[in-house]
Structure 1
Amino acid sequence: MFNLISKAPSSAKNDILSGLTVALALVPEAVAFAFVAQVDPLVGLYAAFIVGLITSIFGGRPGMISGATGALAVVMVSLVVEHGVEYLFATVLLMGILQVIAGVFKLGKFIRMVPHPVMLGFVNGLAIVIFLAQLGQFKVADSHGELQWMQGSPMYIMLGLVALTMFIIQFLPKLTTAIPSSLAAILVVTGLVIGFDLDTRSVLDYLKDMSGNVDATIAGGFPQFHIPMVPFNWETFTIIFPYALVLAAIGLIESLLTLTLIDEITETRGNSNRECIGQGAANMTCGVFGAMGGCAMIGQSMININSGGRSRLSGITAALLLLGFILFAAGLIEMIPLAALVGVMFMVVLGTFEWSSFRLMNRVPKTDAFVIVLVSGVTVITDLAIAVCVGVIVSALVFAWEHAKHIYTSNYIDDEGSKVYELHGPLFFGSVKNFADLFDVNSDPSDVIIEFKHSRVADHSAIEAIDNLAERYTKAGKKLHLRHLSQDCRDLLEKAKDLVEVNVIEDPKYKVASDKLA
């Protein structure tokens, strides 16, 4: 329905123009998230510049845009309110250190374990969040400084300009790909507003409304090196560490899921561990340059991809141009109509939302459909990290429940008169109850064999179940034989270790997930 991927070939021109488009869209976003965190707008803009530049150079996903984000801002606000902005800078510094450690220990690979329904829920939920965030642009401050919905002609003009922006973005690529359609839409709408002197809100109006300061501006100087002014002691560490841990987790989850999404769209593959290190280095830099830190931004990343940005040059260009706006061109950027930027973000929403998920609802298992809806809802209500964790946990429990029912035995009496239980299916914490119910200890003959050739012992719960079953047969005065258990399983058995029949050639070799082996 809505074309998400630019048909323009990858080139330096496309990357530079795409970077310009992203830089223009970054300004109101960075300002808005700074206000959410209750810090100065420049703290958010500096974060967008620093994080955007460093991750573009050193990160693991060319074409992905990073900066100040709402997911982090909503966590930061309570720290700022309670302890002040200096503690925020110290927290961001520690957050970066934790992210670098995650990359060094190659923890980024675990993002590949996120199930596809969780990914769909993440994308849909984030699209809804981006949409809801844009609705705030349709509010103006009244005489008491309270934000109220627009009324009358200002609302109609705003809606008309948003619709024009979306029209240009959707249909210009059918005529030419010489210039990114989003950039063209911003320039055309800005030209119309200035040329016809239309009464509509600009970036400067938004900045004044949000700050309550008629002299508000995005103009500023270079970020200054600034060691956080906090006591470097244990008490400070206990204050900032919980926040740093949560921020590091949210930042990495959002960044790595965005990386995975861009991988799928562009049919290329990023490096998740390198992205962890890049994000961490960027946030460490933010912590000592008075910025609020950040992570990947799915909205701006989609603008970049849709505008033809594919290489690191696009992200570098966006970051440097953003700094240029702050230093030299604040007045020009403040003139841009909010309607143009809202229209760009609405197209991002339409392109990001997985509309195909509606068709999938009747084709996928009900549990997968439930996970998609659950993750989308939790993303909107709480935050991304909680939503993804909830989705992964629910998916894992569903998986365990389904596979717990797949364990069964084929029973027969062999030539020696022994009863053989040929076990099939995985033996793990979810299936141990079903496993115990497969055996009739009282009615079995005096000699019993359990054949594990077609089964897999997965964890220590399974080992305990085997031990307990062996104890039941022993108490009943019956002889039990355990065949084809791996060496690590035999090492973990306590009560049944003497019942295992060892076959060096045929016995499998695998590792049981158990703390005892660590």
Structure 2
Amino acid sequence: MTQKLFKDDRFKGLSFNDLRKDLIAGITVGIVAIPLGMAFAIASGVKPEYGLYTTIIAGLLVALLGGSRFQIAGPTGAFIPILLAIVLQYGYENLLIAGFLAGIMLLIMGIFKLGSLIKFIPRSVTIGFTAGIAVIIFSGQIGDFLGLEGLEKKEYFHQNIIQLLQQINTINWYSFFTAAAGLLIIIFIPKLFPRVPILLVALLVPTLIAFLFYPDKVATIGTAFGGISQSLPSFHIPEITWEKILMLWQPAFVIAMLGGIESLLSAVVSDGMTGKRHHSNRELMGQGVANMVTPLFGGIPATGAIARTATNIKSGAVSPFSGVFQSLFVLSTLLLLAPYASHIPLASMAPILMIVAFNMSEYKSFFHVLKLKSSDSLVLAATFLLTVLVNLTVAVQIGLLLAMVSFIKRMSEVLEVEKVIPAMSKGTNELTESENFGIKCPQLAFFTVEGPLFFGAADKFESMITRSINKRPTVLVLKMKHVSLIDATGGANLRSLIKDFKKMGGTTLIAELNDEVTQTFKTSGLYDEIGEENFYNSAADAVDYGLQIINVGKCPKCSHTNQATCQVFIESKSIHKSS
């Protein structure tokens, strides 16, 4: 079992030429990852080097231990709001603990093979919080884009917007020009030179302009953070207490869920681009280990990055060694060029994050779901607004709750309970179909039940059957051929209904149960309570037996009128038609 779980064929059969391709792809991705790592760290409220540490360590571990050949892991924009909120509310040290706890959760998900469950999170929820995150990231860069002074990062969106409006008169036009230059480069250069590492160019060109033409006029990494340390990250175990675990488990869970969703989505995208298949549970385990180790070196939470993974594939990557080479390249750059990073203007990072926010917003899908004006639209809008106005933790919880309520409502509507006019078996009476159409037997109630009989639909089922029982029939036939499942609540309601009917002297017959639901009946004891003799493979046979119980010949109504008033269809045609 253990050998099968950790069996990894992603490194087999590699040639020197394959490694050369991985080296080129790794360097290419590294060039993209460096500005993003610093930008995401700054936007998350921590020092830029912590983003680089995350890129190096998480990228290396996920490449070695993950479940995808091409996954590139590191800090991503999706984490920015939750990480910033943790830093503002609890501090940087507690952010490390939250990341560590999230890593444990991801590892447990992978060990217990829960990778497939993450895929069941509704699209309306993911689009909602992704669009909300995009709005927070975009608005969070306006201050650096305009070079506004006196800004402090606040926990809530409205507080930051009010602060921007209050300080709008402090625009630094040098910062604006720097940021605008970077934005124009990102928009137009790819159209002319598609193979240029656009994010690096958008970072370096504005930096050179600011350094050469108006030094000391704009805020830089050096003035804001004191530069970037030209050294390896130091090992440090944060102080984890039970009180901190209780305080941080909710944001840690959101980090784990976001990390799992984005990692598996990135792996699915890479599968579509390459035709390879990823191992979802091993990917979660790799992400879990990476997020447990990264905080020990000061790094922030990481996940699979869709854009960087796609860049890796387009650059010719063959194996996970491209992710290893990416980490080594970023490490080398940190050790060699860190002092020069202090000259990078914060304004040159703002357009990079704004473009990231725009690309991740999925605005087309967002407005498409809103136009549906359905329960999905409500879930989407609620998740989006809560992400922006409150926080991501609350948004995900409420979004999932609303989605579950919506799902239960839809499933309850799937259940159909329909009363059907049954047919007497052949030989009981020789009346023709046309002569007896519309005549009913008051002593036999026949219902077809279709759909899941679960807690959301149990009340509907019970109320419809109870109305019929109140008319005092002798036999109740339930055709349950298309009942896909029955849960504890559905079973309890059915048991109560049958007991009440039995006290009234009635008999319940169950027809055409599938094997799975039959097993549920037996496990719950309901099968024995009803009696094996009252289960039938054919609804027609159940009706035949029911008419024998009624004894049509001695029925008071039939004896009084001297004719059989029960509905008769030769060969039980109406029952077969109802199926």
Give the TM-score of the pair, scaled to structure 1: 0.79
Q: CA deviation at 1:92?
A: 4.8
Q: How does 1:66-465 map to 2 (within 5 A)?
A: 66-67=74-75, 69-70=79-80, 71-75=82-86, 78-80=89-91, 85=93, 92-137=99-144, 138=146, 155-197=172-214, 199-207=217-225, 216-228=226-238, 230=239, 237-243=241-247, 245-262=249-266, 267-268=272-273, 270-287=278-295, 289-296=296-303, 301-302=306-307, 305=310, 308=314, 311=317, 312=320, 315-316=323-324, 319-357=327-365, 359-361=367-369, 363-406=371-414, 407-415=416-424, 418-439=444-465, 440-465=468-493
CA distance change for structure 1 residues 283 and 451 in 2, over 3 Å: closer, same or farther?
same
1:23 shift after superposition? 0.9
For 1:30, the aligned partner's letter is A
Task: Determine which structure has more spread, i.e. the larger CA radius of gyration.
Answer: 2
Task: State the Cα deviation string for residues 460-495 of structure 1 (Å, max 9, x = none).
Answer: 111011101102211222111122251222321459
Q: Unmatched 5+ residue regions in structure 2?
A: 1-20, 155-159, 426-440, 540-579
* Aligned equivalent of 1:29: 40
Equivalent residue in structure 2 for 1:46, among 43, 53, 57: 53
Taking the aligned partners of 1:191 and 1:275, their CA distance within structure 2 comes to 40
1:492 and 2:524 equivalent? Answer: yes
TM-aligned CA deviation for residue 419 of structure 1:
2.7
Retained in 1: the 8 A contact 2:383–2:399?
Answer: yes
* Amino acid of the structure 1 residue aligned with 2:220: S
Q: Is the 8 A contact 1:203 1:335 kept in 2?
A: yes
Assess if the C-alpha contact under 8 Å between 1:154 and 1:200 holds in 2: no
Letter in 2 for 1:446: T
CA distance in 2, matches of 1:240, 1:143: 30
- Greater shift, 268-277 or 456-465, is seen at 268-277
Equivalence for 1:210: none
The 1:220–1:29 alpha-carbon spacing in structure 2 relative to 1, beyond 3 Å, is same
Deviations 1:436-477 (A, max 9, x none): 121211214211111111222331111011101102211222
CA distance in structure 1 between the partners assigned to 2:168 and 2:445 by the alignment: 83
Instruction: Tell me how far apart the structure 2 counterparts of residues 503 and 261 of structure 1 sit (CA, whole Å).
Output: 47
Change beyond 3 A, Cα 1:174–1:352:
same
- The 2-side partners of 1:376 and 1:60 are apart by 31
How high is the TM-score relative to the length of structure 2? 0.71
Task: Report how far residue 88 of structure 1 moved.
Answer: 6.5
Q: Deviations over 1:176-203 (max 9, x none)?
A: 2222222222232223223333633322
Q: Distance in 2 between matches of 1:50 and 1:136?
A: 31
In structure 1, C-alpha distance between the alignment counterparts of 2:316 and 2:350, rounded to whole Å = 23
The structure with higher relative contact order (CA 8 Å, sep 6+) is 1
Match in the other structure for 2:435: none
State the Cα deviation string for residues 162-219 of structure 1 (Å, max 9, x = none).
2332222222222222222222222322232233336333222332xxxxxxxx2321
Q: Counterparts of 2:184 and 2:125 in 1: how far apart (Å)?
A: 32
Identity %: 23
- Cα deviations by residue, 1:117-172 (Å, 9 ceiling, x for unpaired): 12211321121122133234245555999998677796333233323322222222
CA contact (8 A) 1:31 1:42 kept: no
Answer whether contact 1:15 1:310 (CA < 8 A) is retained.
no
| Aligned match of 1:5 | none
Residues 237 and 182 of structure 1, relative CA distance in 2, 3 Å threshold: closer
Structure 1 residues 143 and 391 mapped into 2: Cα distance closer, same or farther (>3 Å)?
closer
Letter of the 1:434 counterpart: K
Q: Which has the higher mean CA deviation after the structures are superposed, 167-176 or 468-477?
A: 167-176
Gaps of 5+ in 1: 1-9, 208-215, 231-235, 508-518
CA contact (8 A) 1:480 1:499 kept: no
- Give the counterpart letter for 1:489 in structure 2: F
Classify 1:373/1:175 alpha carbon distance in 2 versus 1 (closer, same or farther; 3 Å): same
Q: Deviations over 1:363-414 (max 9, x none)?
A: 4242111211111122223443432332222112112112212322242233
CA change 1:18–1:203 in 2 (3 A) is same
Greater helix share, structure number? 2
* Aligned pairs, number: 473
Once residues 72 and 152 of structure 2 are traced to their aligned partners in structure 1, the CA distance between those partners, rounded to angstroms, is: 41
Distance across 2 between alignment mates of 1:487 and 1:59: 39
Q: Which of 29, 33, 39 is 1:18 aligned to?
A: 29
1:328-382 Cα shifts (integer Å, max 9, x gaps):
3222112122222211111112222122135414642421112111111222234
Note closer, same or farther for the CA distance 1:143–1:401 as it changes in structure 2 (3 Å cut). closer
Q: Which amino acid letter does the alignment assign opposite residue 438 of structure 1?
A: M
Aligned residue identity for 2:193: T
The verdict on how the C-alpha distance between 1:304 and 1:32 changes in structure 2, with shifts beyond 3 A counting, is: same
Per the alignment, do residues 72 and 218 of structure 1 end up closer, same or farther by CA in structure 2, a change over 3 Å counting?
A: same
Alignment CA distance shift 1:145-1:290 (3 Å): closer
Q: Secondary structure at the match of 1:409?
A: strand
State the AA in 2 paired with 1:120.
I
More off after superposition, 361-370 vs 334-343: 361-370
SS of 1:159's equivalent in the other structure is helix
CA distance in 1, matches of 2:233, 2:136: 30
Report the Cα distance in structure 1 between the residues aligned to 2:90 and 2:316, rounded to whole angstroms: 36
Give me the whole-angstrom Cα distance separating, in 2, the residues matched to 1:326 and 1:245: 33
The one-letter code sitting in structure 1 at the alignment partner of 2:454 is F
